[in-house]
Amino acid sequence: MTLAPGRIVAIIAVLVVIFLQVPVIVTMLAAVSTTSYLTIPPQGLTLHWFAEVLSDPEYLKAIRLSLILAVSSTTLSLVLGVAAAWAIHSRALPGSEAIASFLMAPLVFPSVVIGVALLQYVSLLRLYGGTGVLIAAHVVITVPYIVRAALSSLGGVDRSLEEAARVLGATGLQAFRLVTLPLIRPGLVAGALFALVTSLDNVPVTIFLLAPGQQTLPVLIFSSVEHGVDPGVAAISTIMIILTGLILLIAERRTGFHRFV
């Protein structure tokens, strides 16, 4: 029996998706194993490793710092990225295309290069670590996602709507806040989610700027894997996978952000 080309492409696509999900499935299975070492298939089922990592002060401290960095950098990136995107879109600044390319540069350069460059920069300024430095570094790597999403969303907005609001007496800020901002919200949600996940998952930039005694969750996992993988690492990784999936699902249901990614 000869398969149609469309059917062959569909089968290949399904196989590729399954192949990409194998590491995720293996990690989640290893997290519920009763053994103290990774084994597939799991030997029994237990939630012991989840309870252990969630009661470990080192993991809790790393989770807290990761959340602070992710939420703070995403919030700042939203403010700065939306303002920059609006200025670029409205041609309010000379050289808008060059500015847009400059803001997108962190998406092009390898993360390790950005990390080393930021390390040299903060060393010249004698800013030796600290949460503020980490937040600023994460803004550098997350703001491109906001700018790109905002520019894409603004491109689909009819500017006559904002102009009509101005004619009816609204100020420029009021017209943007009440008319344009609600229209581009799904795109901003998509950009914010990418920024949040990028910040939560970052190792190459963060590891260069951590102060003594500081560890984010990805860096802690990276360090733990160097000394051998155990079910505790699989458990915390599974928690991150599930939380990320839930956030994406809720955001998709509420805003339909898939149209902008």
Give Rg (Cα) of the chain: 22
Domain 56-260 fold is MetI-like fold (1.10.3720)
Which pLDDT belongs to residue 254? 64
H-type helices in 109-230, by residue range?
111-124, 131-155, 159-167, 172-175, 181-201, 206-209, 217-226
3-state secondary structure of 33: coil
- How far apart CA 30 and CA 23 sit, in angstroms, is 10
Note if the pTM is more than 0.85.
no
Helical H segments across 31-130, by residue range: 48-54, 57-89, 96-108, 111-124
Do residues 193 and 248 touch, judged by C-beta distance below 8 A?
Answer: yes
Q: Which of 170, 218, 189, 172 is CA-nearest to residue 65? A: 218
What distance in Å separates the CA atoms of residue 111 and residue 135, rounded to the nearest whole number? Answer: 16
Q: What pLDDT shows up at residue 73?
A: 92
- Distance in angstroms (rounded) separating the CA atoms of residues 111 and 108: 9
Cα 185–Cα 190–Cα 195 angle in degrees, nearest 5? 120
Q: Domain locations in the chain?
A: 56-260
pLDDT of residue 261: 53
Residue 201: both structure tokens together: 């998952």
Phi-psi domain of 232 (left: phi exceeds 0; alpha: psi -120 through 50; beta: other): alpha
> Do residues 184 and 153 lie in contact, with contact meaning Cβ atoms separated by under 8 Å?
yes
Contact between 199 and 69 under an 8 Å Cβ cutoff? The reply is: yes
pLDDT tens, position by position, for the chain (261 residues)? 566 667 788 888 888 888 888 888 877 877 777 776 666 676 777 777 788 888 888 888 888 999 999 999 999 999 998 888 888 887 767 777 888 888 888 888 888 888 888 888 888 887 776 788 889 889 999 999 898 888 888 877 777 777 777 777 777 777 777 877 788 888 888 888 888 888 888 888 888 888 877 888 888 888 777 666 677 788 888 888 888 788 777 777 766 655 555
